[in-house]
Structures are given as C-alpha cells and as structure tokens.
Structure 1
Amino acid sequence: MHEDEWGESSGAPPAEDAGQQEELSPHQSSGEQEIEASLRPRKLADFVGQPRVREQLKLVLHGALGRGEQPDHVLFAGPPGLGKTSLAMILASELSASIRVTSGPALERPGDLAAMLSNLTAGDVLFIDEIHRMARPAEEMLYLAMEDYRVDVVVGKGPGATSIPLDIAPFTLVGATTRSGSLTGPLRDRFGFTANMEFYEPSELGEVIRRSAGILGVRLREDGAHEIARRCRGTPRIANRLLRRVRDYAEVRSDGTVTVEVARAALEVYDVDELGLDRLDRAVLGALARSFNGGPVGISTLAVAVGEEQSTIEEVCEPYLVRAGMLARTPRGRVATAAAWQHLGLVPPANAFGVGTAPPEEAEPTLFEE
C-alpha cells in the first residue's frame, strides 16, 4: 500500500462504507484484509455505478485542480455498502494527496480533532466516516476549521481559561454518513458538495462481480454472475461477500466454476433467497405477518420480537424491504404489504396493505402501537 494513495496514517482502509468490498473486521487476518483492499477501485474511471455522482465529483475535482485551489469539502450520504469510503479514497488518489482516516465515534473530545487537524499538511484529505456520530464539542470545532482553516484551542478551565488560535494547513474534509438526517444544519451547510448514493442496478452489480472475480481469480460464468447480482440487494459490498461465499462452495462441492446452478445451491446454503432476503429479513416479515397480523407495529416491539437491536432493523433490514415493496412505514408503525405475505407463502388478509387499501393510519390504536 503506497503512502501517496492511502496516506501515512490510514493503514488498511476502513470498512464502515467500503463500497465494492466486504466489511472488514478487526478479527480478520492481514491476508484477508489485503484481498478485500485489492477489490477497492483506485481511480474514478474504475469505479462501477453511481454515474451521476461520478460525473459531479469529476467536475468538482477537475475544476479545483484547474484553478489550483483546494477542492470543496465533500459529503457522501447513503446506505451502507454503496461505495462512500471507496470514493473518499479515490478522491485522495485523484488529487495525489495523502488521506487521514478516522470516524465520528472516535472524535469524542475537541482535543482529539485538534490533534488530527494540526498534523495535516497542505492539500491533505481528512476522511471522517459516520460523521453524524461526532461529539457535539468536536463538531463545533470543525466548523471553524472547515471555513477558515483555524481552530481555537482552550487551555485551562473556568475564569482563567485562555483560547489559543491555531492555524492549520488547507485541507479537504470528506464525510460519510448513513443517516444524513442526523447531521446538524450548520455542519451540513459547510460541505460544498453533497453526493447522495443510490442502490445499484443488477447490471451494475454484475459488472462489480465480474471485476472482483477477475481480481480474485474466480472462474465465473455469465449466468452465475447474473444469479449472484440479482440477489445482492442493490449493494456492491453484499455482491462481493456473496461472490466469495459462492466461490467457497464451488471449490469445495463442485469443480470451482461458478455457474447458475452452483450459485443457486450455494446461496441456499447461506440462507439467501430469490429476492436477496436473508434470515433476518424473513424473520422481520414473519413476525409482522404471523405475530402481529401484518401490523402496524412499533419498531422497538418488532425488534424485540426478532431478537435484534432496533438500529439493526432500521439500518440493515428496512431500507431494502421498503425498496422491495414488502414493508411500509406508516405514522403508527411498520406494516407488511401483500407482497410480503405472498413471499412468505401466506395468504394476505383482505385488508393487507397493497390489496386495494391504504396504510392503516387512521385506525384505532392497537396494543402494539408506539
């Protein structure tokens, strides 16, 4: 890994939003991390999907380079796994700049941020993953740094406290968030460019899978790539994860070639169904249909019913289930649609959402309403 691509303090690329690669774990071996890092595109031209964001980002970068200026601060927003971290790394590479990597939860005190900012050199890129989870005091320090390239360090406490202004080198802040609505207005407004990432189409995921198969040395037939792509929930990270698991199945129980038959058999072993739903997705829909008669039911009650954290249901399951038309969010809670009942092999009731009725927003309160 070269310093001009990843920066001296970046180490292995972070995994929160790796885009076109599987999430990294602290328990993974260095070999696994190197394999996963190799799947990350290094140039904007190599990045698959997100054509609108790529074109906008290209204009931002080339315009700034042409003027000899520091590019505006950039915010990438969207669900996990769509390529936010990959684009941050690519941005630094396109600028031939070092990148310093941290995350919102790691910046608990203003001093943590001040130490990182003071170590930047001119032109560096500072990447803050999950930036909406920064502590408020650190966030307020970031405002002045983004606008004036300066921070005020407070020394001492009480009446004797002294504020010392500290100039920092011009830099570009790249933030990534899975919950843009959680960002405060003052922070959001200080980004010169905001890119909203979208889910991928199956054809784009097929391109991601073929590219990754070439890097990993997987023998992949076109029908096998298509079968994996249509079960990836529109997310490149999941596409690469499933490709690696199908590769394992093909090498152990077949001749090593990923065909449509091998892909189907492998994904059945790993509990990924025809629509890309996994065990947790089906558990959520099953609880809604069987335990709560389709809803509406509050999210915390639903989380208890399936034995998962509320945040997991909201951030992992709901985006895809809503997009697939199997779950509706109403003011009174979550509702299973007629498509969800049918996917579970159940007969939807006459009043199921999607069978000629509107969401049950005006009905009398139920026991499970929040």
Structure 2
Amino acid sequence: MTDDHVVSAYVTDAELDAEASVRPRRLAEFIAQHRVRDQLDLLLKGAMGRGTPPDHILLSGPPGLGKTTLANIVASELNAGIRTTSGPAIERSGDLAAILTSLAEGDVLFIDEIHRIAKPAEELLYSAMEDFRVDVVVGKGPGATAIPLDVEPFTLVGATTRSGLLTGPMRDRFGFVAHLDFYAPADLHLLLQRSARILGVPITEDGAAEIAGRSRGTPRIANRLLRRVRDFAEVRGSGVVDQATARAALKVYDVDERGLDRLDRAVLTALVDSFRGGPVGLSTLAVAVGEQSDTVEEVCEPFLVRAGLLARTPRGRVATEAGWRHLGRTPPETVVQQPDLFSRGVDS
C-alpha cells in the first residue's frame, strides 16, 4: 500500500448521522490495549457462561485512553443496561442509594473519577458491591433507624486517573483491576483510519501517520486532531487529509511535530530561556507562563516528562538535553539527560 493511498470513506447511514461515534462498541473493535482487552474478554465470557454478573472492574490510567469506552463495551458485550455517573456528583450516601436501588438485574454502573466519591457514599458502596445490599438511615440522632434494602446483582465499573488516591478497602473490592497504557503510533494510525472511515474523511497513509505522531499516544487527542485537520482540508485544501495538509493544519493549531501545543512550548521555553534550564520551582514556572500551578503540573508536565523534555528533581524542574534541542538551543554541558520514554512507548 503506497503513501498516497486514500483510505476508503464508505460509511453506513447510521455512521453518517453524527460524528457521534468513533467509539467502538465491541471488544473486537477496540484498538490496542491488547492485554487488557484479552483479560476482559475472558472475564466477560466466563461470567456469561455461568449466567452471573462479572466481578466489579476498575480501570485506571491517564485521561483519553478509553476507560469510558470500555465501560460501555462491557455493557454492550453483556447486553445489559448501563447507568453512568461520576464520583464528584455523588455527594451524599442517599444519592448513591437512589442510583443503586434503581438498577435492574445485570446492569452496569459506571462511576467515572471514582477516587473522588464522598466518604459516606464510598462506605455505602462497600456493602452494595459485596452483598448487593444498602442500609439507608432514616432520621437523626438516637431515633435514627437503618433500613436494609436489597440491590439487584450488578457490575460496577470504576474509572480513575489517579489510582493512588483510592482507599485500600475500595480497591480490594474490585475483582479485576486494569491499567491502560498510552498508545503506540502504529495503534493510533489504525485508530485514525477507522475514525476517518466513520466520519467520511478521505485520509492517506502518510496523513494518518502525521497525525498519529503528534497525538501524545492518546486516542482522544488523535480523534480531536483528525477533526481539526479535516476542517482545514475541506476549507483550504482538496478535502483529502494527506501529509502536507496535516502538517499545514497542525501548524495553524499550534501543534508541533512532537505533539507539544502552545502552553507546553511556553513552559519549556520559559524554563530554558528565563531560568537557564532550571532547576526552578513549580509555582515560579507557572507565574512565568501566566498559568495556575495545577494547570502546569497536571496538564503540561506529564507529557513533557514522558517525552523526555523535562525532568522533576528534588530542587525543582529542569529542562533535559532533548528539551533544549527541541527548542533549537544548544544545551550546556551540565544539562540533565533524560530518556525519551514517550517515543519508546514505555509507561513512566
């Protein structure tokens, strides 16, 4: 297959209705995460063979890797209903009790960001997960009464971006725990071809490869960039997403060849130009780029560290040799040498 080969744009009417769904609906359609996918397949088939709900499932990993998609796939594979909520939305145990008692037998309950669930609700969830029962307290003080309510057997799928914040008792109640890794460029290439077919976007092999290489190993980012490149191709190009079009479009959207955006480059540039490569404290670096410390730490740093462009040290943040060279600067002799974990596909 040559580089100028255009991926077929044939789609069904349902797929054309909205861009709604580039998300796979079955495990067989889920690209990458092969180990997790095989383990889930065994778990679900074993449970269906026994005629019982599968064990509760915990999915952890950075944002955008497919945790919500996998939760919906679990429900689809089981031919079950799914109820979706999030940890921050469950502020009281009564909120959770209402959700649990409304579930039908075999339903899937998906709780995103489960590490942020309120403590009283978490404790109520323990008995629901183990015994399919909740105790609702009516009244206050000495006259309070606990009313036990049965819950239909269900499967809880919890998702978290920060598994270290989960309490031990919560984590131990999940029968299957999986961590999702960043995608390799080859897997993102396949994912982009699939998304292009669903969206009706003509895309070449080298066009898909160009977008995949700038997607930070994250499917959500890859699909977002594909939609932006499609806009550019339709307005300023021939409508076909090839390598030249992808490069021109991503330049307009401030995404460079390594996947760094404007804020990433601002952080790296400030570190190199204003602080001579560091070390510098997080709060000082955040002030230098006009952002909150949390934004720099949670949005920019994980990717910069993973890409080997920035390192965290006991004295503060420092730019690595690769970080200096990415900006076209000559690094000093004492610069930190950090392995490029991102390009090697190694999870840090």
TM-score, scaled to structure 2: 0.90
C-alpha separation in 2, matches of 1:240 and 1:307: 29
C-alpha separation in 2, matches of 1:286 and 1:189: 44
Q: What is aligned with 1:329?
A: 312
Point out where structure 1 has 5 or more consecutive residues left out of the alignment. Answer: 1-33, 357-370
Q: Which amino acid aligns with 2:307?
A: A
Cα distance per residue 1:105-134 (max 9 Å; x no partner): 100111110110010111000000111111
Q: Which amino acid aligns with 1:160?
A: G
Cα distance per residue 1:80-129 (max 9 Å; x no partner): 10000000000000000000000011001111101100101110000001
Q: CA deviation at 1:332?
A: 3.2
C-alpha separation in 1, matches of 2:87 and 2:171: 14
C-alpha separation in 1, matches of 2:284 and 2:142: 49
Q: CA deviation at 1:284?
A: 1.4
C-alpha separation in 2, matches of 1:206 and 1:251: 21
- Spell out the pairing of 1:37-56 with structure 2 (5 A cutoff): 37-56=20-39
Cα distance per residue 1:244-274 (max 9 Å; x no partner): 1111111111110111111100000000001
Check if 1:310 corresponds to 2:263. no
Q: CA deviation at 1:319?
A: 2.1
Q: Percent identical across equivalent pairs? A: 71
Q: What is aligned with 2:7?
A: none
Q: Which amino acid aligns with 2:160?
A: T
- Spell out the pairing of 1:172-187 with structure 2 (5 A cutoff): 172-187=155-170
Check if 1:67 corresponds to 2:81. no
Structure 1 runs (4+) deviating above 6 angstroms are none
Q: Answer whether contact 2:192 2:222 (CA < 8 A) is retained.
A: yes
C-alpha separation in 2, matches of 1:158 and 1:203: 61
C-alpha separation in 2, matches of 1:105 and 1:355: 36
Change (3 A) 1:276 1:138: same
Check if 1:290 corresponds to 2:282. no
Q: What is aligned with 1:241?
A: 224
- Spell out the pairing of 1:27-176 with structure 2 (5 A cutoff): 35-176=18-159
Q: Over aligned residues, Cα RMSD in angstroms?
A: 1.9
- Spell out the pairing of 1:222-233 with structure 2 (5 A cutoff): 222-233=205-216
Cα distance per residue 1:30-49 (max 9 Å; x no partner): xxxx7343111010000111
Change (3 A) 1:165 1:205: same
Aligned pair count reads 326
Q: CA deviation at 1:159?
A: 1.5
C-alpha separation in 1, matches of 2:41 and 2:290: 44
Q: Which amino acid aligns with 1:266?
A: A
Q: Answer whether contact 2:132 2:153 (CA < 8 A) is retained.
A: yes
Change (3 A) 1:59 1:248: same
Q: Secondary structure at the match of 1:258?
A: coil
Q: CA deviation at 1:203?
A: 0.7
Q: CA deviation at 1:292?
A: 2.5
Tell me which moved more, 304-313 or 221-230.
304-313
Q: CA deviation at 1:355?
A: 8.5
TM-score, scaled to structure 1: 0.85
Change (3 A) 1:258 1:333: same
Higher relative contact order, chain-length normalized (CA < 8 Å, sep 6+) = 2
Q: Answer whether contact 2:61 2:180 (CA < 8 A) is retained.
A: yes
C-alpha separation in 1, matches of 2:41 and 2:281: 43
Q: Which amino acid aligns with 2:260?
A: L
Change (3 A) 1:153 1:95: same
Check if 1:209 corresponds to 2:216. no
Q: Answer whether contact 2:19 2:198 (CA < 8 A) is retained.
A: no
Match of 2:262 among 264, 268, 279: 279
Q: Which amino acid aligns with 2:289?
A: V
